[in-house]
Amino acid sequence: MSVGVAVNENIIQFDLPVCFQQDLLYISENYCAADSPGMLEFKRIGFHRSKFDEYDYDELYNFVNNRLNLLGFMLVNPMVVYLITTWPGQAYTAHQDDTLVVHVPITTNPHCRMLIGDNTYHLTTDNFYLTNTYKCHSAFNLGTSPRTHIVFSAKEKS
């Protein structure tokens, strides 16, 4: 069983089983970011963060948490699950977070990149990623379709 592949100190890539990929397809077909009340937050700070309650995240959460545990990390709070959308032509303000962040891409395009330190990464839908958001980071979408990710907060196991 492959645990995860550390691309470098900024990001660890994990395989996502096919059953979860089908679940993500269901979310992408039923979730419409434009209708979400999170749009107000997007206008205020540039993040379009919202929730999609028609999917039970427990299984995904447990799977991600188990994988992280093998490498000495853990998810912070199972109740805090957000979907973040980056619109075409949008970039986030470069910032640092208090926690690590797990990204589970739902929809993306080849021109979406996450910028961590001086490197950029394309996050694909058949994987999930633990990202070192303690470092200054940003994300941008140079494509023509929205990029939506499920995000979980994570930290090192004490």
Contacting positions for another protein (CB under 8 A): 46, 89-94, 111, 113, 115, 118-120, 122, 138, 140-143
Token pair recorded at residue 105: 């891409």
Task: With CA atoms as reference, report the closest residue to 122 among 132, 113, 131, 111.
Answer: 113
Taking the complex as a whole, the smallest distance from the CB of residue 86 to another protein amounts, in Å, to 10
Query: Which residues lie closer than 8 Å to 125 by C-beta, 6 or more apart?
Result: 16, 21, 24, 105, 106, 107, 108
Q: Which residue has the tokens 């996502």?
A: 16
- For another protein, the closer of residues 95 and 155 by Cβ is 95
Local structure of 153: helix, strand or coil: strand
- For another protein, the closer of residues 67 and 149 by Cβ is 149
Taking the complex as a whole, the smallest distance from the CB of residue 89 to another protein amounts, in Å, to 6
Taking the complex as a whole, the smallest distance from the CB of residue 14 to another protein amounts, in Å, to 21
- For another protein, the closer of residues 103 and 147 by Cβ is 147
- For another protein, the closer of residues 102 and 139 by Cβ is 139
Taking the complex as a whole, the smallest distance from the CB of residue 133 to another protein amounts, in Å, to 14
DSSP string, 61-77: HHHHHHHHHHTTEEES-
Taking the complex as a whole, the smallest distance from the CB of residue 93 to another protein amounts, in Å, to 6
- For another protein, the closer of residues 67 and 137 by Cβ is 137
Q: Which residues pair with 119 in a beta bridge?
A: 116
Give residue 130's Cα distance to chain centre.
8
